[in-house]
C-alpha cells in the first residue's frame, strides 16, 4: 500500500470541521503524500427549476462552484503552509458516490478519505448510503474517519484465513501487507486478529453430537489457529501481536478494538451480487457498524464490483 496521492471527500454541510481532512493532513505529514480536496455540489433548485432559464441556471451553478472552490482553497492553505502539495476540485452532480467514483477513476489515488459519523446514542459509526456504496464499489482503499480524538498509535487488521476462495486468500495478504506498511511508514503499533465462533452447544440436539461437542470445539479451534499461523508465517510479526479470538466477529472484534485502544481497524470487503445489489457480507457489515474507531476498508486487487 502506497501513500503518494490522497483523495479527501469534503462535506460542504460541515463547515470548516472536516475530520477526514485532519486525518489526511496527519497522513501527508508522515508520508509526503499529495492531497486533493474533492467537493461535489448539487441543488435541485438549479436543475430544471422554474425560476431560471438554461443560461441563468448554468451561470448560477458556475457561481456556486466558484464559491465552493474559494472555500476549498481556504481549507487547503494551512496544508500548503505546512509544505504539503494540495489541489482542489469542485464538481456539480449527483449522486455523491458516483461523482466520487468518477474522480477516483481519473485520479487513481492510493487512498480515499471520507467522514463517517458516530451515532450519539449508540456511540458507534453510522454509515449513510454514500458510505455503503463507496465501501462496496470504491476500487481504492477507503479510510472512513470518525469524529473525535485521534491518537494515531494503534492499528489492527482483522483477517479471515479459513476460506476456500482464492480471492479471499489474496485479500488477507493485502490486509496484512497494508497494515505492515502503515506500521512502518506511519509509526503505529500493529496487531493482527482472527475471530471465529464454533457452533454453540445450545444448538446441538443429537445425543451423539452432544457427547462429541468438546472434541468438535477443539478441532475447530485447531483449524482456525493453524490457518491463522499459516497466513502469518511469512511475516515477521511477534506472537504477542497475533490474536485468535473466540466469539462472533461482530462482538469480539469491536470488543478487542475498544479494550486495546485501537485507532484504526483494517478490514477487507468482497462485494457479492450485481452492481445494484452488491453486499459485502452480513458479518462484515455488522462489524463495520459496531466499531468505535476509524476504518480502513480494502478490496481485492482488480475488483470489478
Query: Between 157 and 119, where is the model more confident?
Result: 157
Among 3-7, 50-54, 230-234, 296-300, the least confident range: 50-54
- pLDDT band at 254, cuts 50/70/90? very high
- pLDDT band at 194, cuts 50/70/90? very high
- pLDDT band at 120, cuts 50/70/90? very low
Question: According to the model, what pLDDT value does residue 119 have?
Answer: 45
Question: According to the model, what pLDDT value does residue 211 have?
Answer: 62
Mean pLDDT, to the nearest integer, of 104-116? 96
User: Do the domains 1-150 and 151-305 sit in the same CATH topology, yes or no?
Assistant: yes
Cis? peptide before 95, omega within 30° of 0: yes
The whole-angstrom separation of Cα 150 and Cα 263 is 7
Question: According to the model, what pLDDT value does residue 130 have?
Answer: 85
| Residue 278 reports pLDDT greater than 50 | no
The correct answer on CATH 3.40.50.12370 for the domain covering 151-305 is yes
**Would you list the domain boundaries of the chain?**
1-150, 151-305
| Residue 237 reports pLDDT greater than 50 | yes
Structural fold of domain 1-150: Rossmann fold (3.40.50)
The whole-angstrom separation of Cα 53 and Cα 65 is 18
| Residue 30 reports pLDDT greater than 90 | yes
Query: Between 47 and 133, where is the model more confident?
Result: 133
Among 86-100, 104-118, 187-201, the least confident range: 187-201
> Given its phi and psi angles, is residue 121 left (phi above 0), alpha (psi -120 to 50 degrees) or beta?
alpha
Query: Between 197 and 190, where is the model more confident?
Result: 190
Mean pLDDT, to the nearest integer, of 281-301? 81
- SS3 string, the chain, reads CCCCEEEEECCCCCCCCCHHHHHHHHHHHHHCCEEEEEEEECCHHHCCCCCCCHHHHHHHHHHHHHHHHHHHHHHHHHHHHCCCCEEEEEEECCCHHHHHHHHHHHHCCCEEEEECEECCCCCCEECCHHHHHHHHHCCCCEEEECCCCCCCCEEEEECCCCCCCHHHHHHHHHHHHHHHHHHHHHCCEEEEEEEECCCCHHHCCCHHHHHCHHHHHHHHHHHHHHHHHHHHCCCCCCHHHEEEEECCHHHHHHHHHHHHCCCEEEEECCCECCCCCCECCHHHHHHHHHCCCEEEEECCCCCCC
Q: Give pTM, 2 decimals.
A: 0.87
Q: Are strands 125-126 and 117-118 parallel, antiparallel or unpaired?
A: antiparallel
Question: According to the model, what pLDDT value does residue 178 have?
Answer: 96
- pLDDT band at 290, cuts 50/70/90? confident
Query: Between 55 and 209, where is the model more confident?
Result: 55
- pLDDT band at 199, cuts 50/70/90? low
| Residue 36 reports pLDDT greater than 60 | yes
Mean pLDDT of the chain, nearest integer: 85
Question: Apex CA 156: angle with CA 153 and CA 160, to 5°?
Answer: 175
Amino acid at each position: 500500500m502506497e501513500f503518494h496521492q490522497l483523495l479527501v471527500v469534503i462535506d460542504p454541510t460541515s463547515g470548516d470541521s472536516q475530520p477526514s481532512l485532519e486525518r489526511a493532513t496527519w497522513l501527508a505529514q508522515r508520508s509526503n503524500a499529495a492531497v486533493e480536496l474533492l467537493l461535489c455540489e448539487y441543488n435541485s433548485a438549479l436543475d430544471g427549476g422554474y425560476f431560471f432559464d438554461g443560461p441563468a441556471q448554468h451561470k448560477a451553478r458556475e457561481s456556486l462552484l466558484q464559491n465552493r472552490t474559494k472555500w476549498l482553497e481556504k481549507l487547503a492553505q494551512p496544508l500548503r503552509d505546512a509544505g504539503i502539495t494540495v489541489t482542489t476540485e469542485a464538481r456539480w452532480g449527483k449522486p455523491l458516490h458516483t461523482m466520487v467514483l468518477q474522480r477516483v477513476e481519473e485520479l487513481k489515488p492510493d487512498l480515499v478519505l471520507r467522514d463517517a459519523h458516530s451515532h450519539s446514542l449508540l456511540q458507534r459509526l453510522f454509515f449513510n448510503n454514500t458510505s455503503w456504496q463507496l465501501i462496496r464499489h470504491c476500487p481504492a482503499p477507503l479510510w472512513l474517519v470518525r469524529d473525535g480524538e485521534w491518537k494515531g498509535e494503534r492499528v489492527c487488521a482483522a483477517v479471515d484465513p479459513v476460506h476456500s476462495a482464492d480471492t479471499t486468500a489474496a485479500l488477507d495478504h493485502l490486509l496484512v501487507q497494508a497494515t505492515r506498511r502503515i506500521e512502518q511508514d506511519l509509526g503505529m503499533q500493529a496487531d493482527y486478529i482472527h475471530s471465529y465462533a464454533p457452533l454453540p452447544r445450545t444448538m446441538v440436539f443429537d445425543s451423539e453430537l452432544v457427547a462429541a461437542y468438546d472434541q468438535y470445539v477443539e478441532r475447530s479451534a485447531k483449524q482456525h489457529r493453524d490457518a491463522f499461523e499459516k497466513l502469518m508465517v511469512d511475516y515477521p510479526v511477534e506472537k504477542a501481536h497475533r490474536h485468535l479470538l473466540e466469539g462472533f466477529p461482530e462482538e469480539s472484534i469491536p470488543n478487542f478494538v475498544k479494550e486495546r485502544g485501537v485507532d484504526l481497524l483494517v478490514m477487507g470487503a468482497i462485494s457479492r451480487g450485481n452492481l445494484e445489489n452488491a453486499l459485502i457480507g452480513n458479518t462484515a457489515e455488522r462489524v463495520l457498524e459496531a466499531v468505535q474507531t476509524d476504518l480502513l476498508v480494502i478490496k481485492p486487487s482488480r475488483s470489478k464490483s
